[in-house]
Structure 1
Amino acid sequence: MARPERKLVAVLAADVAGYSRLMEADEAGTLFHLKALRAEVIDPKVAQFNGRLVGTAGDSLLIEFPSAVDALQFAVETQERITARNTDIPEVRRMAFRMGVNAGEVIVDDTTIYGDCVNVAARLEKVSEPGGVVIGRSVYDQVKGKVPYTLVDLGEHTMKNIAGPVRAYRVQTEERDESEPSALIASGEDLPLPYKPSVAVLPFTNMSVDPEQDYFSDGIAEDLITELSRSQSMFVIARNSSFAFKGQSVNITEVGRKLGVRYVVEGSVRKAAARVRITAQLIEAATGNHVWAERYDRDIEDLFAVQDEVTERIAWALVGKVGAAEIVRTRQTHTSLSAYDAFLRGIDATSRITEKDTIAGVEFLKLAIGLEPDSARAHAWLADAYAALSAFRADEEMKASAMQSALRAIELGDASGLAEAVVAALHGWKGDFEAAASHAQRALAMGPTNPVVLVWVGYICLWSGQLTKAREMGERLRRLSPLEQRDVHELLAFTYYLLGEYEASLDSFRRWDNNHYDRGFANLAACLGQLGRAEEARSAWGRCLERKPGFTLADYKHGSPYRRQEDVEHWLDGLRKAGITD
């Protein structure tokens, strides 16, 4: 019997993240896209780095290289090319590969290869994020100091059918700003406890093998926040501030101090095939004592029942029967797991607040409604997404779509106040502030602690000239979401300006994480103009023009939603003081 041929190689394993979802949505289009990537990106790169394709199965690839450096360079450059191609594709149709690279001895059999080296590469690929590259220790030892990348130690991983633990490293091609959330948390002031029982729900840890499932574990936590917020007996911190702790090494006592809450909920989600494991625990922040903890191992079909039970147990622990009854009475039911999955993806996309992500969010929410047409909250969130798009694009058709979706949500019994708030904002945009006030009042009655409701109502107050009330909405938002840097400070920056408090306005402008809103940069320029900082004002105006070339003061005046002409002139006065004219 002939001895098997063995050789030392570097092995790369890759597959498409979320391939089944892509195929289910558009089988022919997905296959075409995959073939195009193979022909135009992957195969030429394989040839460039002297690789050999030794295995394909559906969306997976197995490639051998003569050196670890070649394998790593192939992986990084290929991922960069694929990412660049994805920029012009809606998020719901993007194709992202996960890649794992290992090095060692393999057995050669005709056109393919076998051995532990291959198996470890496949397991490392599962550790990778979509669009990322993870390498094993054997590759790390060979490439360290030879490639211009940061190799982030992910620790040891126990892998199925592999004898010992495998140390993995994430390949980072540029420095990530991972200190910003920590800095934001550290800079936050300690807040007093409200008079109501108060709680913050931290993002649940994704314990699934697939990092792409983050949206699912985030969605579980967000649903808990939404349901608990229905109780008038509790003070519940908004999502954006709770989620500032995502990926952080959490000190529960610090969370309690920075968010001003007595209790903290944390947990984890592991989703695998038809099973789901959810752990949740309620902790007293000051002492670290566990008030309540539970683990649920259920079929995925029981997910909604588990969510209901966790929410009810937390409400019971905090405020007893009254709080739990309020939640049970207003809870909406779900019938479709596929619809819920699409809904969570839609919320995840729209929460990133860019035009491209919001477009992707619209597609996911439309998919959710296609699967569950009578979902009031999916229609409400779709209305919110359309309204946001209309702000990005100044598109009347989008506003009409937003109104249609919001009215349908109201018809279906949306209890969150979001749909009413969107209708109010749309009337405000048209200048019908009487109708806007009526819908805003109903929105606040249903969602007095819903941050999205408070944002829309705050802007209606701002546009209609009710500046003191707009400031009140902004301050309520700031307490509900003390670490949030976008909606809160955008509203406050505009409100303080019109109140003539320019230093306070500038402080909020600096805190507001604005990278996309053209009129926001114009308003910053006006604020700087009022403060006599003309050079900085012209720089801000330049950033406005980068996003909207040819924008003029006449355009600013024409597109303004303000009811009072004096408020429009106030903004224009700041721009003129900065030396900005048509």
Structure 2
Amino acid sequence: SGEIAKALGMQPSAAESERMARPPTENLEAYDFYLRAEQTARTGRRDGLREALTLYDKAEQLDPAFAEAFAADASTTVYIWRESFNDIMQSAPARKRAYEKASRALQLDPDLSSPYAILGIMQVVDRRYEEAIASVERAVALGPGDAETQIALGYVQLFAGSHAEAAEAVETALRLDPNLSPVNRQIAGLVFLIQGSNDRAIEALERTRDDAPSVGDFTITLGAAYARAGRLQDARAAVAEGLGAMSTPGFDSLSAYRLNGAQYRNPQDLALIVDALQQAGLPEWPFGFTGDEHNRLKGKEIASLVLGHTLQGQLEPGLQPAFLQIGSDGKAAFRSTTRLVTETVRVDGDLLCELSENMFGRPDCGPVYKRRDDGGGGYSFVNSSKVFHFTVVQ
């Protein structure tokens, strides 16, 4: 990338030039684990991300001074965190790991740009916009020829509402690395989409889908771009394809996009994406759940039903067993075969809300419905992260 940067008229920093001139580690086995981790992480597949963390750990154990491995580990972890892939790692430990790995990388190499880029991403998700911009600008100053650093700048500027600056950054990243990873190319596609460059968005997101066809999130984002371009048939096909590729709740509903996209500084930017996805047929709730409004509970009914009680039931998909124990003060614990979350539960209007360290501390709210089906009744609670069919057992 150093030669490309020079060809583009960009002068690498002294630290960047020095880093490119030396191997990142003298331990070949550690380097092999690092390269394998990078390759498997770049697709954005959940199984690949999980494997990458293990490979990074092995590289770091073999060479505890391998700064680039710690930095790449932090970058992958922060992606898991910002995408709310809680089936890989819960939000709180993911956030802690990202900070620790980035800090270790910076301790080993104070001139490394990526830790500041990672910090900027975490700050913008926390809606600390000015701090985030300062962090990624420092990253770019340290590594102007690094495509991932430019993508981080684009990501931060996108959510901060600076569309022109975001587009400039991703254009630079694409010139530095025409073969961006699907993870980073999706960011470029989002920037073009929000900017109104529908053709550029479609081009980037089609490449993303083609490079990672098993990642439903990417194909769903492409559906939004098709919808913005007026290609509704293609949009609906893309969303259907994306939903078919997903096995766990993620960006599979409008409610998830609203909650995960709450860091957009300009509400109209999020509304643009949600409206496009609605046109493309993305359902309101995970797994296409719909409830009968005639059977929807009011706030007082929800409070008397759940506060101070234990709810036992099953989760979509696959109807895996789950329990939600709620104290009278709202302190609660949710447990399934794959999740254990401590949280606070409250009723807000006619919605039941869960608040935990997941979802960046944002309340995840949804309705509760009385079930009148052949399964014996009971209730269904749905929000952006779950569809929970339950009965009250105590």
Taking the aligned partners of 1:505 and 1:388, their CA distance within structure 2 comes to: 21
> For residues 43-122 of structure 1, what are the structure 2 equivalents within 5 Å?
none
1:581 CA displacement: 5.0
Superposed CA deviations along residues 142-197 of structure 1, whole A, max 9, x for unmatched, are xxxxxxxxxxxxxxxxxxxxxxxxxxxxxxxxxxxxxxxxxxxxxxxxxxxxxxxx
1:423 aligns with one of 95, 119, 126: 119
1:443 CA displacement: 0.8
Q: Secondary structure at the match of 2:65?
A: coil
Q: Are the aligned partners of 1:339 and 1:367 in contact in 2 as well (CA < 8 Å)?
A: yes
Q: Are the aligned partners of 2:120 and 2:133 in contact in 1 as well (CA < 8 Å)?
A: yes
Partner of residue 137, structure 2: 441
Partner of residue 493, structure 1: 189
Question: What is the one-letter code of the residue matched to 2:139?
Answer: A
1:339 aligns with one of 25, 30, 39: 30
1:407 CA displacement: 1.6
Partner of residue 373, structure 1: 64
Partner of residue 291, structure 2: none
Q: Secondary structure at the match of 2:201?
A: helix
- The verdict on how the C-alpha distance between 1:518 and 1:399 changes in structure 2, with shifts beyond 3 A counting, is farther
Q: Are the aligned partners of 1:521 and 1:544 in contact in 2 as well (CA < 8 Å)?
A: yes
Q: Are the aligned partners of 1:455 and 1:487 in contact in 2 as well (CA < 8 Å)?
A: no
Q: Does 1:553 align with 2:254?
A: yes
- The verdict on how the C-alpha distance between 1:558 and 1:548 changes in structure 2, with shifts beyond 3 A counting, is farther
Q: Secondary structure at the match of 2:99?
A: helix
Taking the aligned partners of 2:181 and 2:37, their CA distance within structure 1 comes to: 21
Taking the aligned partners of 1:360 and 1:327, their CA distance within structure 2 comes to: 31
Taking the aligned partners of 1:324 and 1:505, their CA distance within structure 2 comes to: 34
Taking the aligned partners of 1:531 and 1:235, their CA distance within structure 2 comes to: 33
Partner of residue 47, structure 2: 356
- The verdict on how the C-alpha distance between 1:468 and 1:409 changes in structure 2, with shifts beyond 3 A counting, is same
1:438 CA displacement: 1.9
- Tell me which moved more, 464-473 or 371-380: 371-380
Taking the aligned partners of 1:388 and 1:362, their CA distance within structure 2 comes to: 12
Partner of residue 542, structure 1: 240
Q: Secondary structure at the match of 1:563?
A: coil
Report the TM-score, using the length of structure 2 for normalisation.
Answer: 0.60
Q: Share of identical aligned residues, percent? A: 21
Alignment RMSD (CA, Å):
3.2
- Tell me which moved more, 330-339 or 341-350: 330-339
Partner of residue 459, structure 1: 155
Taking the aligned partners of 2:213 and 2:16, their CA distance within structure 1 comes to: 42
The gaps in structure 2 that reach 5 residues or longer are 285-394
Question: What is the one-letter code of the residue matched to 2:112?
Answer: S
Superposed CA deviations along residues 113-148 of structure 1, whole A, max 9, x for unmatched, are xxxxxxxxxxxxxxxxxxxxxxxxxxxxxxxxxxxx
1:525 CA displacement: 2.2
- The verdict on how the C-alpha distance between 1:497 and 1:340 changes in structure 2, with shifts beyond 3 A counting, is closer
- The verdict on how the C-alpha distance between 1:338 and 1:522 changes in structure 2, with shifts beyond 3 A counting, is closer
Taking the aligned partners of 1:517 and 1:460, their CA distance within structure 2 comes to: 23
Q: Are the aligned partners of 1:532 and 1:578 in contact in 2 as well (CA < 8 Å)?
A: no
Partner of residue 327, structure 1: 18
Report the TM-score, using the length of structure 1 for normalisation.
Answer: 0.42
Partner of residue 571, structure 1: 273
Partner of residue 75, structure 2: 384
Q: Secondary structure at the match of 2:178?
A: coil
Q: Are the aligned partners of 2:154 and 2:165 in contact in 1 as well (CA < 8 Å)?
A: yes
Superposed CA deviations along residues 51-92 of structure 1, whole A, max 9, x for unmatched, are xxxxxxxxxxxxxxxxxxxxxxxxxxxxxxxxxxxxxxxxxx
Partner of residue 393, structure 1: 85
Superposed CA deviations along residues 213-258 of structure 1, whole A, max 9, x for unmatched, are xxxxxxxxxxxx5xxx3xxxx5359xxxxxxxxxxxxxxxxxxxxx
1:508 CA displacement: 2.5
Taking the aligned partners of 2:24 and 2:232, their CA distance within structure 1 comes to: 55
Q: Does 1:405 align with 2:101?
A: yes
Question: What is the one-letter code of the residue matched to 2:272?
Answer: H
Taking the aligned partners of 1:415 and 1:407, their CA distance within structure 2 comes to: 12
Taking the aligned partners of 1:558 and 1:471, their CA distance within structure 2 comes to: 24
- Tell me which moved more, 406-415 or 460-469: 406-415
> For residues 508-519 of structure 1, what are the structure 2 equivalents within 5 Å?
508-512=204-208, 513-519=211-217
Q: Does 1:235 align with 2:4?
A: yes
Q: Are the aligned partners of 2:43 and 2:183 in contact in 1 as well (CA < 8 Å)?
A: no
Taking the aligned partners of 1:576 and 1:342, their CA distance within structure 2 comes to: 42
1:405 CA displacement: 0.7
> For residues 116-515 of structure 1, what are the structure 2 equivalents within 5 Å?
229=2, 234-236=3-5, 326-327=17-18, 331=22, 334=25, 336-390=27-81, 391=83, 393-394=85-86, 395-396=90-91, 397-484=93-180, 486=182, 489-512=185-208, 513-515=211-213
Superposed CA deviations along residues 331-351 of structure 1, whole A, max 9, x for unmatched, are 577454443343333334334
Taking the aligned partners of 1:405 and 1:571, their CA distance within structure 2 comes to: 33
Q: Secondary structure at the match of 1:393?
A: coil
- Tell me which moved more, 544-553 or 561-570: 544-553
Question: What is the one-letter code of the residue matched to 1:475?
Answer: E
